Chain A
Amino acid sequence: MASHNACPTELQPGRGWRIARAVIGSLLVTTWKCRFGLMRGQRRRAVSARQLRLFCERMGPTFAKLGQLASVRPDVFSPETVFELERLQDRMPPVSSDAIQKAIIQELGADPETLFADFEQEPLAAASVAQVHRARLRQDYRPVTGALLPAGTEVAIKVLRPGIEPQIAADLAIARRWARRMARFKRLARWRPVELLDEFTAMLDRELDLRNEGRIADRFVRDFADDEQVIVPRVIWRHSTRRVLVTEYVEGWPLNDLGAAERAGIDARALATHGANVFMHQVLVLGYYHADMHPANLFVTPDGRICFLDFGIVGTTTPPQREAIAQVLVGLVYGDADRALRYSRELGLEIPDEQVARVHKRVEELVRNHLLSGPQADVRGFALGFLSMLADFRITIPAGYGLLIKSLVTVEGVARAIYPDLDLMQAARPFTTRLIAEQLLQPNRLRRRLVAARNAALEELLS
């Protein structure tokens, strides 16, 4: 974690003890709520997960962020924990406008009234690490992609909370001490607490440099430039630094505030389907995807477009992974458990030979119960069951694979926030089928398959 002394904040004395007391308090409550270990399986995990979320919310920005990062790691944490941490509230009381203005002066060398035509003192949003204010451009600006933004264009200014970096660095130093202690216990060491914390620290460090988010936003803008139903705010680099990110302001409703009245004015079904296809296009064609797609990071504009915000966490896929993921998806979409499992192994899911038959049976049941029966597929139910099953069989989940399953669940949630009756599996059929057809028609693939088919035919004729 890079230390920052530009916006010094006095670190609270005794913070380590306060964290220790909160941890012990939380453990006692969890033990009580789990009936001193008498509660078993999924229910116990669900109760513990809820206590963990409440702890993260109570302990402030560092733990809220760590919780958010843990929520995209189903390869490490139980599915109950991952889905519970997804609900972490990332809203904080706003910092005073004066403090934000000072931070902007420190970063950009001039006060916001000089840099912008208009600067709103009242924040648009205040989260654990940053606060957003609205303003207007004073001069024209040419962004990396697309048309010129004329003077007067509304912009959103995201500013890191003054002093947040040293506060997070101090909290992480305390957390690292705890992680080292945990690593001494055999039962806890299997979680590799020190390595995991190092990984989270690196992720957090990347997220605290707002330029990274801006660069990914630029790439999204370019890759979806031809898609009229997708909008990504463009970055105004002239006013953006490590701690300030200025983007176009997009008017709309966050998905968690989308009511029936708003849905009435748009083609909600088509937009939800398109949103799901956009995600699959990211994963299966572009090779990178927005991995933090919770409803607060997505807007629907009054003219019926989806707006993507906040590119803090991004997942990537390699070409062989993309091919295998497409096959897994087709397997799920068409209820072909065998295909889904076969290609899951290509994604690094190692199932011991003696467990293959049992795993196969459980997956078939899950597909039948959650994806094929009922009025609409339940991807969330399937994912929860699937991840729990892997945990029960003690099968290690590859990191990218876990994140992908979790992201599918998120996409279902997002699509249903737009159109509640959407069946994600039905919506995904045309896209995945087309993709598999394109993969099959690639010359090198065709060549391989035709040679194999010819050999098989010859073998058949000669036998």
Chain B
Amino acid sequence: MKNIIELLAAWALIHESADEGWKAAVKRGREQTPGAMGDGPEAFVEGLAVLVDEEKERLKERLADGGDSDEIANPVELGERIDQLGFEIAELRGRLESLHASIDGLAQRLPD
């Protein structure tokens, strides 16, 4: 679902300045009460338009930041970042263990 919203957001970004009808749909969607998306096809489209619009704004910010912003966009990305850090720490532990082994080897060569 997220990918579809992102795809539509990319489309909306390109047509941002051109489509007045779209802007009106977003405006009506923002005025909806929670849960109103289920009230019929038009309400659904207007609710969806708001979701796409929010995603579009996020996409715009990401593009403006050159796509390498440190801001964490979503929980999946956050999870990936934590996973990456965990791996780097484990790698570091590996390096320390290896250095320790090398020191043991060198120490053994020292005269008593």
Interface residues of A (CB under 8 A from B): 105-110, 143-145, 211, 214-215, 218, 222, 235, 237-242, 441, 443-444, 446-447, 450-451, 454
Contacts and interface: CB of A to CB of B under 8 A. Distances in A.
Contacts of B104: 108-110
21 contacts: A106-B105, A107-B101, A108-B105, A109-B106, A110-B104, A143-B94, A144-B90, A214-B94, A222-B87, A237-B95, A237-B97, A237-B101, A238-B97, A240-B97, A240-B98, A241-B102, A441-B7, A443-B13, A443-B59, A446-B7, A447-B10
Given A106-B105, A107-B102, A109-B108, A145 B6 contact: no
Contacts of A106: 105, 108-109
Interface residues of B, number: 27
Contacts of B87: 144-145, 222
Contact of A450 (B14, B101, B106, B107): B14
A428 to B, nearest CB: 24
Interface string B1-36: 000001101110110000000000000000000000
B22 to A, nearest CB: 15
B-side interface mostly = helix
B67 interface: yes
Contact of B94 (A110, A218, A446, A451): A218
A441 B6 CA distance: 10
Given A109-B107, A144-B90, A450-B14, 14 more contacts: A107-B101, A107-B102, A108-B101, A108-B104, A145-B90, A215-B91, A218-B91, A237-B94, A237-B101, A241-B101, A242-B102, A441-B7, A447-B13, A450-B11
Given A222-B87, A441-B7, A444-B63, A211 B98 contact: yes
A-side interface mostly = helix
A453 B109 CA distance: 72
B14 A235 contact: no
Nearest to B14: A450
A443 B10 contact: yes
A144 B91 contact: yes
What are the 6 closest A-B residue pairs judged by CB atoms, nearest first?
A109-B104, A109-B108, A237-B94, A443-B10, A237-B97, A144-B90
Given A108-B104, A110-B108, A145-B90, A446 B10 contact: yes
Residue of A109, A240, A450, A451 ringed by the most chain B CB atoms within 10 A: A109
Nearest to A107: B105
B101 A240 contact: yes
A451 B14 CA distance: 7
B81 interface: no
Nearest to B62: A443
Given A110-B108, A144-B87, A238 B101 contact: yes
A215 B105 CA distance: 21
A258 B90 CA distance: 36
